[in-house]
Amino acid sequence: MTDSVTVGSDAYEQYVEAGDILTTVLSEAADRVTVGATHLEVASFAEERIRELGGEPAFPVNISVNEEASHAAPGADDDTEFGEDMVCLDVGVHVDGHIADAATTVDLSGTPELVEAAEESLAAAIDMVEPGVQTGALGAEIQDVVEAYGYNPVVNLTGHGMDVFDAHTGPTVPNRGVDSGAELAVGDVVAIEPFVTTGTGKVTEGAATEIYEVVSSGTVRDRRARQLLDDLEQFDGLPFAARWLDGARAEMSLTRLERADIVRSYPVLKEADGELVGQDEHTLIVTEDGCEVVTA
């Protein structure tokens, strides 16, 4: 569960700073999503721009296209270009571990209503946020708006709380109505992120993986893998991209660390029917009279 953040505290100011950086970077990166631009160009631009503005990436920039919903990120030699695609950009920024997380969808496919459904469902959920509201009620509101557009929410992806150097903690914010759910309290830091699809509304794991995270301590016999594990300390337990690593043997070392259950990989998540997915997301802090959206 996320720690409570007091308005005016150092932690509060760092969440706000991370949100300000993210708002700028997400807008600038979205403007670069055009037919013929490459996924790697956009991701690299966003990650470097975050650093220029005084933050650090909280996770690799996710660029999910068409049926992809999450965990899609370009590799070091990726020359994939945008075509007439549905493009979801999911970006995270941290300032001293205090994380802001936001996403937007750029429609190059000619399906603007899908983007609108994601945006409107997020806005409706945010309007409901106040101390004491149940996260299941937020999910019901998201579902109602999405279904009114004739689409389905992705039910096995959710919003989430955030804590210092932890991008995904409680409470879970579902994208459909559920009877059970957490009660939001003043000071909670929460990312609400509706995923909307033209399909039936579930995602499954694909084969591609570019994003990893250290999940446990441990040792391995291989010298290069041990050296890589030392190098991974720079990410403070947050997800990282394989292309961020130096050395030609990093891929093999990552594989050894994963087999030892020290590192976890995040395969790309895809809509089960191969249908389009749109996403919108904001980070907010629950206040006494509602919430403050730090990524808007």
- Taking the C-alpha atoms of residue 127 and residue 108, their distance in angstroms, rounded to an integer, is 29
Among the options 85, 101, 280, 292, which is catalytic?
101
- Lookup: tokens for 42: 């956009």
User: CB 76: neighbour CB atoms within 10 A?
Assistant: 14
Whether the Cβ atoms of residue 29 and residue 88 lie closer than 8 Å to each other: no
What is the rounded average pLDDT of the residues 160-165? 96
Which CATH number applies to 10-205+269-293?
3.90.230.10
Angle between helices 250-259 and 223-231 (to 10 degrees): 90
Query: Among this protein's residues, is 101 annotated catalytic?
Result: yes
The SS3 call for residue 175 is coil
Whether the Cβ atoms of residue 143 and residue 157 lie closer than 8 Å to each other: no
What is the rounded average pLDDT of the residues 35-61? 98
Whether the Cβ atoms of residue 201 and residue 275 lie closer than 8 Å to each other: no
Annotated binding-site members for substrate: 71, 168
Question: 79-118, pLDDT tens digit by residue?
Answer: 999 999 999 999 999 999 999 999 999 999 999 999 999 9
Residue span(s) of the chain under CATH 1.10.10.10 come to 210-266
CA dihedral for 172, 293, 58, 204, sign (positive or negative) = positive
Whether the Cβ atoms of residue 77 and residue 43 lie closer than 8 Å to each other: no
Length of the chain: 296
Residue span(s) of the chain under CATH 3.90.230.10 come to 10-205+269-293
Query: Is CATH 1.10.10.10 what the domain over 210-266 is classified as, yes or no?
Result: yes
Angle in degrees, CA 216, 93, 41, rounded to 5: 100
Annotated binding-site members for a divalent metal cation: 90, 101, 160, 193, 281
Q: How far is CA 208 from the centre of its chain?
A: 17
| Average pLDDT value over all residues in the chain | 95
> What H or E segment, with its residue span, contains residue 161?
strand 159-163
- Lookup: tokens for 104: 């937007």
User: CB 97: neighbour CB atoms within 10 A?
Assistant: 18
The pLDDT of residue 1 is above 60: no
Percentage with pLDDT > 70 across the chain: 98
How confident is residue 28, by pLDDT bands cut at 50, 70 and 90? very high
Question: 254-275, pLDDT tens digit by residue?
Answer: 999 999 999 999 999 999 999 9
pLDDT of residue 248: 67
Among the options 90, 120, 210, 292, which is catalytic?
90
Nearest to 215 by CA among 171, 152, 284, 266: 266
Among the options 39, 94, 160, 282, which is catalytic?
160
Query: Among this protein's residues, is 183 annotated catalytic?
Result: no
Q: How far is CA 198 from the centre of its chain?
A: 21
pLDDT of residue 38: 98
- Taking the C-alpha atoms of residue 167 and residue 160, their distance in angstroms, rounded to an integer, is 8
How confident is residue 218, by pLDDT bands cut at 50, 70 and 90? confident
Among the options 193, 275, 280, 292, which is catalytic?
193
Query: Among this protein's residues, is 160 annotated catalytic?
Result: yes
Among the options 17, 67, 281, 292, which is catalytic?
281
From residue 69, alpha-carbon distances to 186, 203, 275 in Å are 30, 7, 10
- Taking the C-alpha atoms of residue 295 and residue 19, their distance in angstroms, rounded to an integer, is 5
CA dihedral for 51, 56, 59, 65, sign (positive or negative) = negative
Among the options 116, 130, 168, 273, which is catalytic?
168
The SS3 call for residue 35 is coil
What is the rounded average pLDDT of the residues 240-257? 89
Whether the Cβ atoms of residue 276 and residue 66 lie closer than 8 Å to each other: yes
The dihedral over CA atoms of 267, 293, 113, 109, expressed in degrees to the nearest 10, equals: -50
